[in-house]
Amino acid sequence: MFTSEDHNNYFEQLARVERKMVYCTFELARSMEGSPLGGILKKMGENEVRHYGYILKMIEVATDLRQPEHEKRREPRKRCLGTIRLWRVQDQETEEVSARCVNLSTHGICLECSERLLPGTAWELEIQLFDTEELLGRRGRIVWCKEVEAGLYMSGMEFGP
C-alpha cells in the first residue's frame, strides 16, 4: 500500500523529469529559432508545459489530501519555469552558475541546478522566465540545499541584501 508521502514523492519525481523536458525542448528550440524545426520544437515545449501543469495539479491534490491546512508562507509561491544565471556576491570573479526556476515569490525562489549551493552564501541572480520577456535581477542568500537525485540539487533562496 502506498502512503500519501509515497504518492507525493512520485509526483515530485515526475515533475523533475517534466521540467527537464521543458527546459531541453525550449533550449533546443531557441538554438534553432527561425528554422522549421525550431517552430516544431517550440510547439513541443508548449505541450511539455501543459503536461507539467497536470503533474502540478496531481501534487496539489496529493498535498491537500495529506495536509488540509494551507502552507504558512508570507506570500504564496508561483510555480514558474525559466533560466537563472547566478554569481556569488562575495567574489565577482567566480564563474557563473546556471540554474532553473522551480517556483518564485516576492520573498524568494526555489531553483535546481547541478551545483551544491551552500546555505548562507549570497548570490546575484538574473532570472528569465519563459512566459515573459522581462529579465528579473535579484540578490539573495541560500537557505537550504538538498540533492534530489544524483547530480541534481534543489535550493531555496531568500531575497534580500
pLDDT tens-digit profile, the chain (161 residues)? 777 777 778 888 888 889 889 888 988 988 998 898 998 998 898 888 888 888 888 877 776 655 544 455 566 778 888 899 999 877 666 678 999 999 899 999 999 999 999 999 999 999 998 878 888 899 999 999 999 989 999 999 999 87
CATH number of the structural domain spanning residue 153: 2.40.10.220
On whether residue 17 sits in a domain, the answer given is yes
What is the total count of domains within the chain?
2
Instruction: Give residue 103's domain range.
Output: 78-159
Which residues, other chains included, contact 18 with Cβ-Cβ below 8 Å and sequence gap of 6+? 48, 51, 52, 55
On whether residue 23 sits in a domain, the answer given is yes
Q: In the numeric block, which cell numbers belong to residue 160?
A: 534580500
Distance spanning both ends of the chain, measured CA to CA: 47
- The pLDDT, as a whole number, for residue 55 is 85
Which residues is 135 bridged to in the sheet?
A: 128
On whether residue 73 sits in a domain, the answer given is no
- The pLDDT, as a whole number, for residue 125 is 93
- The pLDDT, as a whole number, for residue 92 is 62
Cα angle 24, 58, 144 (rounded to 5 degrees) comes to 65
Which residues, other chains included, contact 11 with Cβ-Cβ below 8 Å and sequence gap of 6+? 55, 58, 59, 62
On whether residue 72 sits in a domain, the answer given is no
On whether residue 71 sits in a domain, the answer given is no
- The pLDDT, as a whole number, for residue 68 is 47
Together in a domain, 91 and 57: no
pLDDT tens digits, 12-26: 888 888 988 988 898
